Amino acid sequence: MAEQLDDHVVRALSTGALPRAAHRDAQADAALLWPLFEAQVQSRHLDFAQRWLHGQGQGYYTISSAGHESNAAVAMALRPSDPALLHYRSGGFYSARAAQVPGSAPIQDVLTGSAASVEDQISGGRHKVFGSRDLAVIPQTSTIGSHLPRAFGLAFALGQQLAPEAAIPSDAVVVCSFGDASANHSTTVGALNAAGYCGHRGLPMPIIFVCEDNGLGISTRSPDGWIRRALSTRPGIEYREADGDDPVRLLQVTRDVADTVRAERRPAIVHLRTVRFLGHAGSDAELSYRSSREVLADYAKDPLLATATALTAAGAATADDLLERYENVRADVMACARGLANGVPRLTSAREVAAPLATRSPERARQAALTHGPARVKVFDGTLPEDSAPLTLAQAINAALRDVLAAWPQALVFGQDVGRKGGVYGVTRRLQKHFGHGRVFDTLLDEQTILGTALGAALAGCLPIPEIQYLAYLHNAEDQLRGEAASLKFFSNGQYENGLVVRIAGLPYQKGFGGHFHNDNSVAVLRDIPGLALAVPSGPASAPALLRECVALAATEGRVCVYLEPIALYHERDLYDVGDGGLLAPYSPPSSWDGGQQELGRARLMQEGPDVLLVTFGNGVRMSLRAARRLAGHSVRCSVLDLQWLAPLPLADLVAAAHRHPRVVVVDETRSSGGVSEGVLAALVDDGYAGRMARVTSSDTYIPLGPAADHVLLSEDQVVRCVRAIM
C-alpha cells in the first residue's frame, strides 16, 4: 500500500494531474502554503521510511500519519511554545512545529523513535511517540482519549494563572488532538464537558481541541454526520470545521481559531476532516474491511496533493518544482533511515529500561522551616497545633495540609466538596478560608477531570494535591494514574514529570455508612503502577510526616504519590479501652521533620516482642496492637510492624524485622486475592526467610451494607486465632 500511494503522488506531480482546487475564490498565501507542503511531504516520507525500517528488522510499531498531514496547518497557526498533546497521527504537526524552531531534527527524532534507539531524543528508546521538550510537545501514549483530561488541566492552570512562574508563557494556548472514534470515549467526553463547563461559567480556558476525523475507528465506521453533531452542540465551546484537502481555508480557520483562543481565553474545537492511508497500524489488513475502490477513492482527498494544487493555482510553483522537492525530501529521509538500518544502540538491561522511574534526589528540599512565626500562627488561627491537645487522624492531616500549603506556595488542594464544605469528613476544613479560592477549590463531580486537572497543573509548575472522595471512586479514573501520570517520566526519559499527591479516603470498617462504595478495601490497582508511591497512615503520630514525605517526593522528584487515608480512623480517639485516648497524638511540626522513620521505603516498628512479628498497615495497626495485648495474656509476645508504604514495600525494614522473629503473621485488611499480604509473603520467601509464615485477610468479595460486613472483613479475633495456631 505504501508503494501504491507513493506511485500515485509521483504520477500526479509528474503529469500535473493534480486534484481540483477547492475554494478557488479564496486568496492563497504562498508564504504559508510552501511550509505546509514541506511539512506534509516530510511526514509522508517518514511514514514510508518507518515501514522500510520495519522490513529491515530495525523498525517497530508503524502507525502512519498519511492522510492526516493537514494537521500541519494547526502547528503553523500556533507558537512553538504552545503546549501540544498530540494524536498518534501527528507527523505533519510535528514536522511543521520543528520547522519553527531552528536546529530541530524531526527526521532523526521520528526515525530513532521508531527504531527504539537510545538516541531517540524523547523516550530514549522506550516507545514511539511524538514528543520533544524543545518543541513543547508532551509525549502521549496511545490509550484512547486519555490525554484529554491532562490537556484540560494544563489549560485550566494557565487560564487561572495558578503557576505564574512556570516556564510556559502566560498567554500560551494548549492544543490537543484526537481521532473521531476517540470522540465517543468517556474520557474524551469528560474532558470536553469540563472545558465546556469552564467556558459556560466564563472561566479562562485557553485550549484548542482538534478532532481529526477520517471516518474510521480501526475498522469501525463513524456514522455520517455523528461527529459534527456531537462536537458542534457542546455548550461553552466554539466549533469550527475544515477539510484537510482544502488547505487555503484550513490555514485561515486554524489561524482564526488560534488567535481567538489566545486573545479571549475560551475553548474551541476544530473538526478537521481527513482521510487515512496505509491502514490503521502495523500489519492491519485494511482490505479485509474496506474495498480497493473505497481506498483508492480517498486518494482524491490527499492533503499533500491538495496543497500542491493550491501552490500551482496560486502561481507559486510548477509541478516540476513540487516533484523535485518531494524527491529531495525522500532522499533526506532515506539517508537517515539507511544510517539506522545496520542497527542502533538500544536499551540493554531492565535497569536501563526502568531508570526514569527510579530517579531519586539525595538532597531533597524539606521545606521544614520556611514558614514560622506570625505567618504560621495566623494559618492556625492563633494556636499552633503542636501547642494544642493531642489530635485525631483527621485533625493531624488537616494541620499537615495547612503547613504544606504555607510552605509550598505552588501547592493546590482541590476535589469534590473540599473547598467550602471542607470535605465530607472535615479533613480540609477552613483551608479555603486561609489560602483562598485559587489554591483550595471544588471541582466537577468527575474523577477523571479531578486527576486530569492535577496532571495538567503539575506540568504548569504547580504542586497538586487532589482528593478522591472515596477509594471506590478512583476506579472510574485509574488510567489517569496508570497510563498518564506515572508513565510520563518513562516515556519522556525523565524530561517531563508531573509530581502530585492524590489524597484518597478509603479502606473498610467505617460504621453506619455505605457498603462497598464507602468501605472499599482494594488497593491492587495502585500497587502495580510502576513508579507510584503509595503511603497509608495508621494514626496521627505518623500521618503528618508521611504526608510531608509524599509532598517532598512530588516536589523534588516529580513522583506520583497516593496518600490513602483510613476513613474509619479519622475521628477515633481510643486504642484499647473507652476513654484511653490511645489513638490521639501530639502534632509533629515541620521543624521536627527530617524524613526519618516515615521516609519512602521505611517501616515503623510499633512495639517489640520475641515470639511473633505482626506485619500490617492502616486499620490493621490498631487491630494488631489490640490483638497483641490479648495474646500477651496467653504469654505470646508480639512485635507490630507498620509497613506505612504499600508501594514500593519497605523491603529492607520488613526483612530485617522478620529475621529477628521465628514467626511472621501478615495482618491484611485487603482481600486474599490481589491484596498486600501476597507481596509481603513473596518478599520473605525471595529473601530466604526460614521461619513460619501465615496471613489473615478479608474475604474475596465486595463489602455488604450493615452488620453483614463483619462476616467478610478481617477481625481482631481472626488475628488472635491465627497467631495462636502458628504458635
Cα(137)–Cα(153) distance, integer angstroms: 16
Give the per-residue pLDDT at 280.
86
CA 628 to chain centre: 42
568 and 694 share one domain? no
Do 219 and 124 lie in a common domain?
yes
* Rounded average pLDDT over 685-710: 94
> Could you read off the pLDDT of 17-63 as tens digits, one per residue?
787 765 544 556 888 999 999 999 999 999 999 999 999 999 988 88
For the cut 50, the answer to whether the pLDDT of residue 377 exceeds it is yes
How far is residue 12's CA from residue 323's CA, in Å, rounded to a whole number? 9
Return the pLDDT at 402.
Answer: 95
Catalytic entry in 147, 280, 518, 661: 518
Which of 327, 342, 357 is the endpoint of a domain? 342
Q: Is there a cis peptide before residue 648, judged by omega within 30 degrees of 0? A: yes
In-domain check, residue 8: no
pLDDT tens-digit profile of 177-222? 999 999 999 999 999 999 999 999 999 999 999 999 998 888 888 8
- CB of 385 within 8 A of CB of 589? yes
Percentage of the residues of the chain whose pLDDT score is greater than 70: 96
Average pLDDT in the 253-268 region?
Answer: 98
The answer to which of 282-291, 489-498, 652-661 has the lowest mean pLDDT is 282-291
- pLDDT reading at 452 higher than 80: yes
User: In the numeric block, which cell numbers belong to residue 584?
Assistant: 490521639
Rounded-to-integer distance, Cα 157 and Cα 457, Å? 5
Give domain status of residue 413, yes or no: yes
Q: Tell me, yes or no, whether 18 lies in a domain.
A: no
**Are 642 and 499 in a shared domain?**
no
pLDDT recorded at residue 372: 59
Q: What is the pLDDT of residue 272?
A: 98
Which uninterrupted H or E stretch holds 723? helix 716-726
- Tell me what pLDDT residue 363 has: 60
Mean pLDDT of 431-443: 95
pLDDT at 538: 97
Note the pLDDT of residue 18.
80
Q: Which pLDDT belongs to residue 62?
A: 84
Last residue of a domain, one of 556, 583, 598: 598
Q: 634 and 514: one domain?
A: no
Do residues 629 and 504 both lie within one domain?
no
The verdict on residue 3 lying in a domain is no
pLDDT reading at 248 higher than 90? yes
Evaluate whether residue 354 is within a structural domain: no
Establish if 347 belongs to a structural domain: no
**Domain end (from 598, 629, 653):** 598
* Number of domains composing the chain: 3
Residue 165 has pLDDT above 80, yes or no: no
Distance CA 152, CA 193 (A): 10
**C-alpha closest to that of 533 among 476, 565, 486:** 486
Residue linked to cell 455548550 = 235
Q: What is the DSSP annotation of 206-267?
A: -EEEEEEE-SEETTEEPPTTHHHHHHHT-TT-EEEEEETT-HHHHHHHHHHHHHHHHHH---
Q: How confident is the model at residue 16 (pLDDT cuts 50, 70, 90)?
A: confident
| Residue pair 582/629 in contact by the 8 Å Cβ criterion | no
Q: Tell me, yes or no, whether 459 lies in a domain.
A: yes
Q: Which pLDDT band holds residue 288 (cuts at 50, 70, 90)? A: confident
Give pLDDT tens digits for 564-614.
999 999 999 999 999 999 999 999 988 887 767 889 999 999 999 999 999
| Same domain, residue pair 64 and 209 | yes
20 φ/ψ sector (left φ>0, alpha ψ -120 to 50, else beta):
beta
Determine whether 571 is an active site residue: no
Domain co-membership, 316 together with 384: no
Same-domain pairing of 329 and 414: no
**What is the arithmetic mean of pLDDT over 347-353?**
95
User: What confidence score (pLDDT) does residue 366 get?
Assistant: 60
In this structure, are 640 and 581 located in the same domain?
no
Split at pLDDT 50, 70, 90, the class of 364 is low
> Do 387 and 318 share a structural domain?
no
Q: What are phi and psi of 527, to 5 degrees?
A: -75, -20
Cα separation of the two ends of the chain = 71
* Domain CATH for 678: 3.40.50.920
Q: Report d(CA 659, CA 695) in Å as an integer.
A: 17
685 and 572 in one domain?
no
Residue 543 lies in a domain: yes
**Alpha helix (H) residue ranges in 408-520:** 431-435, 447-459, 471-474, 479, 488-491
- Which tens digit of pLDDT belongs to each residue from 109-130? 999 999 999 999 999 999 999 9
Residue ranges making up the domain that contains 694: 604-726
Write the CATH number for 47. Answer: 3.40.50.970
Asked if 92 and 247 touch (Cβ cutoff 8 Å), the reply is: no
The answer to whether residues 633 and 544 belong to one domain is no
Report strand pairing: 174-179 vs 411-415. unpaired
